[in-house]
Amino acid sequence: MSRLAILGGDPVRTRLFPAYQTMGAEEMAAVRRVMESGNLSQYLGAWHEDFMGGPEVRRLEEAWAAHFGVPHALAVNSATSGLFAAVGACGAGPGDEVIVSPYTMSASAIAAAVYGAVPVFADIDPESFCLSAATIAPKLTPRTKAIIVVHIFGGPADMDAILALARPRGIKVIEDCAQAPGALYRGRPVGGLGDLGVFSLNYHKHIHTGEGGVVTTRDPELAERVSLIRNHGEVVVGPKGREDLAGLVGYNYRLTELQAAIAVEQLGKLPGLVEERIRNVEFLAARLAGLPGLRPVVPGGPDRHVFYVHPVHYDSAALGVARNVFVDALKKELPSARLRETTPLIGAGYVKPLYLQPFYQKRLHPCVFNCPRYAGRVDYSLGSCPVVERMHFENLVTHEFMRPGMTADDLEDVARAFEKVVAARRELGSTA
């Protein structure tokens, strides 16, 4: 075996990996159909038959609802918009708290702040990386209005236990399914378990339309509120006869007809794309599981993980190498480790725990942190969620080499890179 690439040896691979490309003839035909119709968006921000959008948006919503087994699906122009609309539909506002995971994309938590509610971070479970009933329970207060559960990396949170906490207290549960379309919790699709589900169709996701999102719910009242928030609801509540919702503020969260038409085709491809991810993880996990110090998450068990990224537990004591040193060495073995020019495929952890961002550390936002209606005290200090900090700074490696389009040879190179760095760890100073 050659010397490690980080020390000047030959890397395992220099060739680029295949791009992740899910667009095909079906999407081209759908775009052409919409272009030829000339009708790129049919929304009207008034109480009118076009208030709910045009034929492609409605077709997407029907297809999405059927696919995920929910009565209501509402297309929006991003998951961020969907999260904002979901929090707004729950009625969270100044003085309220919304419990959320610190290990997620920033929009999951800022959705609460946008409405003047205070994001309260509960720790993650070390196996699922999601919120759990055990981590949420100590954060519940009389002010808790909603919980935003993120099915992070594509693996479902333990929803039954979380709902058992929330339901008797009248707390709404929003599922952030941006990374988990097609994931199953005890056989049931995520997005239909809590009060509202939010999916993303952005460029990085399993299926995409460039930008886009979908909100799901079983509750017709919540569906109506989301539809109002999506499309300038304040001018619609009067003509619609919903003056009890006169305080509701609407936005423009409308998805275009073009994107909706693409989304229908993408949705049809989702099951196959998820299967391929799972097969690729099965191969990689089997190879990595044989190595000391690495414990990859494996498919199987009562739930279905859809592997937006593949998490691998890292034990620095077993390997005698700090996690970041290991990841740097691994990256050098796969120096062209990109499926897209901008996407790093190997990560030391995921995103920094959200409460460590300046927005939470400095607490400058006057309507959230200095709201006279807020009677609580929120803790964003370093150490406040020890599991997420341990995972992020020491014990988690993530990678995206399981994306569809990878060949057996590509996967073999990835496995060999991990094997090489583990085998040559003494070159990195390990005595283990």
Ligand X SMILES: Cc1ncc(COP(=O)(O)O)c(C=O)c1O
**Residue numbers of the site for ligand X (CB under 6 A)?**
78-80, 104-105, 107-108, 150, 176, 178-179, 200, 202, 213
Least Å distance between CB 151 and ligand X?
Answer: 8
Toward ligand X, which CB reaches closer, 326 or 350?
A: 350
Least Å distance between CB 246 and ligand X?
Answer: 28
Least Å distance between CB 374 and ligand X?
Answer: 25
Distant-in-sequence, close-in-space partners of 42: CB < 8 Å, separation ≥ 6: 50, 53, 54, 55, 57, 257
Toward ligand X, which CB reaches closer, 178 or 387?
A: 178
Least Å distance between CB 408 and ligand X?
Answer: 29
Least Å distance between CB 204 and ligand X?
Answer: 6
- Do residues 386 and 126 touch, judged by C-beta distance below 8 A? no
Q: Which two tokens stand for residue 409?
A: 């040879």
Toward ligand X, which CB reaches closer, 23 or 318?
A: 23
Toward ligand X, which CB reaches closer, 104 or 231?
A: 104
Least Å distance between CB 108 and ligand X?
Answer: 5
Toward ligand X, which CB reaches closer, 60 or 105?
A: 105
Beta strand 346-348 with 396-399 is antiparallel
For the sheet with 172-176, list strands across it: 72-76, 213-217, 196-200, 172-176, 144-150, 97-100, 118-121
Least Å distance between CB 286 and ligand X?
Answer: 27
Toward ligand X, which CB reaches closer, 255 or 424?
A: 255
- Whole-number Cα distances in Å, 302 to 161, 188, 246, 299: 15, 10, 44, 10
- DSSP SS3 for 275: helix
Toward ligand X, which CB reaches closer, 293 or 311?
A: 311
Toward ligand X, which CB reaches closer, 107 or 330?
A: 107
Least Å distance between CB 213 and ligand X?
Answer: 5
Least Å distance between CB 149 and ligand X?
Answer: 11
Distance in angstroms (rounded) separating the CA atoms of residues 414 and 397: 14
Least Å distance between CB 399 and ligand X?
Answer: 16
Toward ligand X, which CB reaches closer, 6 or 150?
A: 150
Toward ligand X, which CB reaches closer, 177 or 422?
A: 177
Amino acid at 376: G
For residue 74, give the H/E element and its range. strand 72-76
Q: Which two tokens stand for residue 34?
A: 């919409």
Based on DSSP, count helices (H) and strands (E) in the chain, helices before strands. Answer: 15, 13
